[in-house]
Structure 1
Amino acid sequence: MTRERITVSADIDAETAKIVEDGLDRSNELHNGPDPTKPLWLVCRDDQGQVLGGLKGLIQWDWFVVLILWVEEERRRQGIGQRLLRKAEDAARKHGCRRVRLATMTFQAPEFYRKSGYAEECRLLDVPPGHAYIWMSKTLAD
């Protein structure tokens, strides 16, 4: 009988990571078909080309996932974040997305997203300690 051994590490070699990731992908494909995930970036720059903010997202099936939305500290509350989010939603619609999901923390931007029509779906308390991790979603109008 073969004995199993579990290792714990903060780092792993690329070959092992690929075996685990590919194994999960094959398992998921049995239920969902091939992974249709496509990245989508939106970047806001000033006249000199300086990056003022950006949004990194994914198109997955009929969902758009906002992974990162950031605006330079000095440029916040000037509408850049709102414009990035609105343009991302427009691009998501063009790619056939009907809904958007994202995660934020209580010290980040939950009110910003609420004002943009996002509803809280779930809240995990004390992540990080003293705060909460919030999942939000929005249905995109046609």
Structure 2
Amino acid sequence: MTQSVIFISDSAEPEFERIIGKGLDEFNEQIAGRSDRRPLCVILRDSITNEVLGGAVGRTSLGLAFLDLFHLPASLRGSGLGTKILDAFEVEARQRGCSSAVLYTISFQAPGFYEKNGWTSFGEISSEREGISRVFMTKKLQHAR
């Protein structure tokens, strides 16, 4: 048996992510008959400077879209850009064959924003801090008719 040592790190090395991703892809292919895990990013850039202003980061896999990170600076909130970014994420997920999406947000962040855009809560986990919880949400991605 190979000698093993467990390390803890606060940063993911690209080679580490490649090895873990390759192993997961091979396992999914073996069990599900396919492995279609892909990043899905919607990037909002300044039209003049090309600076990244905000956006969404997630992935798609086996018919499910995962929205992992979403951010807009305070100066752009309420402008409709958040909904446009979320819509673009959902459209691309649909085009990739996803029928549902899932995310989690923090109770003080954006549950109301997601609810206004058709997402529903399916669970909540309290944290150690009073009044702060993780809210898990999902949305069926209806195909355009």
- TM-score, length-scaled by structure 1: 0.78
Matches of 1:88 and 1:13, distance apart in 2: 26
- The answer to which of 10-19 and 131-140 deviates more is 10-19
- Give the direction of change, closer, same or farther, for the CA distance of 1:136–1:28 in structure 2 (3 Å limit): same
SS of 1:42's equivalent? strand
Quick one: which amino acid aligns to residue 61 of structure 1?
A: L
What is the correspondence of 1:89-100 to structure 2 with a 5 Å cutoff?
89-100=90-101
Q: Percent identity?
A: 29
Instruction: State how many pairs are aligned.
Output: 139
Partner in structure 2 of residue 40 of structure 1: 40
Quick one: which amino acid aligns to residue 104 of structure 2?
A: A
- Give the direction of change, closer, same or farther, for the CA distance of 1:32–1:45 in structure 2 (3 Å limit): same
> Highest CA radius of gyration, 1 or 2?
1
- The answer to which of 112-121 and 48-57 deviates more is 48-57
Give the superposition deviation at 1:69. Answer: 0.8
Given that 2:25 and 2:37 are in contact with CA atoms closer than 8 Å, whether structure 1 keeps it comes out as: no
**Per-residue CA shift, 1:90-130, capped at 9, x if unaligned?**
1111111111110101011000001110010111112x522
SS of 1:85's equivalent? helix
Given that 2:26 and 2:35 are in contact with CA atoms closer than 8 Å, whether structure 1 keeps it comes out as: no
Quick one: which amino acid aligns to residue 120 of structure 1?
A: S
- The answer to which of 112-121 and 28-37 deviates more is 28-37
Matches of 2:8 and 2:69, distance apart in 1: 27
- The answer to which of 107-116 and 68-77 deviates more is 68-77
Matches of 2:17 and 2:47, distance apart in 1: 42
- TM-score, length-scaled by structure 2: 0.77
- The answer to which of 28-37 and 110-119 deviates more is 28-37
Give the superposition deviation at 1:21. Answer: 7.4
User: Structure 1 regions of 5+ residues with no counterpart?
Assistant: none
Matches of 1:135 and 1:26, distance apart in 2: 28
**Per-residue CA shift, 1:73-103, capped at 9, x if unaligned?**
2111111111000011111111111111101
Matches of 2:93 and 2:55, distance apart in 1: 16
Matches of 1:94 and 1:33, distance apart in 2: 20
Query: CA RMSD for the aligned pairs?
Result: 2.9
Quick one: which amino acid aligns to residue 129 of structure 1?
A: R
